[in-house]
Structure 1
Amino acid sequence: MEDTFSRISFKKKTEAISEQIVGLINSRDLTRGDKLPSERYLSETMGVSRGALREALRALEMIGIIETKTGSGSFIKVNGPIEKTTDLSKMMERDDNPLNLIIVRKTIEPLSAKLAAKNAGESEILHLKDFYSGYDIPAGEKEINYDLDGDFHLYIAEMSQNKSLYDVMKVITDRMKSDNFWRFAKEKTTGLLHHLGPHIDEHEMLVNAIANHDEKEAEKAMKQHLRSVEKGLLQFF
């Protein structure tokens, strides 16, 4: 089965990798339950970097074509034929790494939290607490409302009373909501029930610091939260 993979020379290598795997499923060279060769073998055989390979595999996992099991490898989840989906093409068109969002967020959001603690009025603090209460997960639910998460961080920027900072954060939160890879990694790292505790605790620390007008603690809490998010994302990007 390993001999069926061939070297890739296309410009958009992530898309070419995905299409080759889909093609092998359609030709029945790969069927449900088959394990893909190691990343090292695939990257060397196809002539691509491991980064491009992993991005292609993540895209295929996101749309349900493969399943990656930690410590075991990647397995085919479907049998052919599979049409070239618009979802796959759209995901392969992206040209940025979600970690770049974290780089920018780590730069501006601690300042956002610090200014929010300094400038927020009581009505704004009450509204922020309402945002935090929205993180309560009903029994049986396992996923965070990621749109709410983005709105929470955007509102902190609004509380800073710095319009330029808010405008930058609006661009970032729009990306957080629309970027499929960002949402995929967040769901993998914090979307499962047993991972929600630290995520919610970090937000609680942040809300309390802002409510107490403690600028240093608000800044510290935001830095700690973003380090936690970054640590999770580094597993996938």
Structure 2
Amino acid sequence: MKAHEAVMNWVTAELSSGRLRIGDHLPSERALAETLQVSRSSLREALRVLEALGTIQATTGSGPRSGTVVTAAPEQALALALNLQLATSHVEHSHVYEVRLLLETWAAEHSNPDGGDWDAAERLLKLMDDSGTPIQDFLLLDAEFHVTVSRAAGNPLISTLMDALRASIADHTLARAQALPDWDSTVTRLRSEHHAILDALRRGDRAAAAELVRQHIRGYYMETAN
């Protein structure tokens, strides 16, 4: 078994048993190496792998926030895997578009009007409504808005997958947006569509919200596909 697999198995077992929780510190490097019977150098390599996967976060210095802490950032690992797949052309951007349609329309169809953080979504829309917001910032806010409203469906895996998908195509999305001949017209339409989606979700009209999301994603994809 490779060192990072041994560490991952240990962390998984500790989390499953309740002996370790998100936010807890891992034992010291020396103690963990002795427990798992791996060398310090192999352990460090394993910890770097786990940090890249979003399982842990290592910080230097002193104090309660230093050391290696167990985290929960599965979207980091998913985005990394998707980036590699896109780079090898095994997965194309059209595939990401199709998956987005599936995930986001499902989330709208299963949303709970009493379970959404609509105030947070509204704050994001206000920031996007600012005409001085740069394209890059707008797109980041746009991504956060879609993830935020999807949480009303009560399925954290959906939101995690959406977050990973959007992170993996962020550079591509920015490049396509910057290439549009009339960004001002596009962003005006996107703002209007975002408000309509939020209104439908808030009033519990799932069918309307799902159709608005479908049109929104499809329209922007078709506009930027060429």
TM-score, with structure 2 as normaliser? 0.55
Which stretches in structure 1 are left out of the alignment for 5+ residues? 1-89
| 2:201 pairs with 1:210 | yes
Within the candidate set 148, 165, 176, 2:141 is matched to: 148
Q: How many residues align?
A: 140
Structure 2 letter corresponding to 1:203: H
Distance 1:159 1:234, change over 3 A: same
| 2:151 pairs with 1:158 | yes
- Match of 2:31? none
Q: Tell whether the 8 Å contact from 1:110 to 1:223 is kept in structure 2 after alignment.
A: yes
| 2:212 pairs with 1:226 | no
- The 2-side partners of 1:163 and 1:115 are apart by 13
Distance 1:152 1:127, change over 3 A: same
Deviation at 1:229, TM superposition (A): 1.4
Which deviations, in whole Å up to 9, do the C-alpha atoms of 1:85-128 show, x marking residues without a partner?
Answer: xxxxx9x9553432221111011111112223x25447x12221
- Match of 1:128? 121
Deviation at 1:146, TM superposition (A): 1.2
- The 2-side partners of 1:173 and 1:154 are apart by 9
Structure 2 letter corresponding to 1:187: Q
Which deviations, in whole Å up to 9, do the C-alpha atoms of 1:182-228 show, x marking residues without a partner?
Answer: 32113323872122111111111101101111111111110110111
Secondary structure at 1:138's aligned position in 2?
coil
- The 2-side partners of 1:206 and 1:137 are apart by 19
Q: Tell whether the 8 Å contact from 1:119 to 1:159 is kept in structure 2 after alignment.
A: yes
Task: Kindly indicate which of the two structures has a greater share of residues assigned to helix.
Answer: 2
Which stretches in structure 2 are left out of the alignment for 5+ residues? 1-83
Structure 2 letter corresponding to 1:196: V
- Match of 2:3? none
| 2:182 pairs with 1:187 | no
Superposed structure 1 runs of 4+ greater than 4 Å apart: none
Which deviations, in whole Å up to 9, do the C-alpha atoms of 1:143-193 show, x marking residues without a partner?
Answer: 26211111111112222111221222121122133xx22321133238721
Distance 1:204 1:192, change over 3 A: same
Distance 1:167 1:108, change over 3 A: same
Q: Tell whether the 8 Å contact from 2:151 to 2:159 is kept in structure 1 after alignment.
A: yes
- The 1-side partners of 2:118 and 2:175 are apart by 31
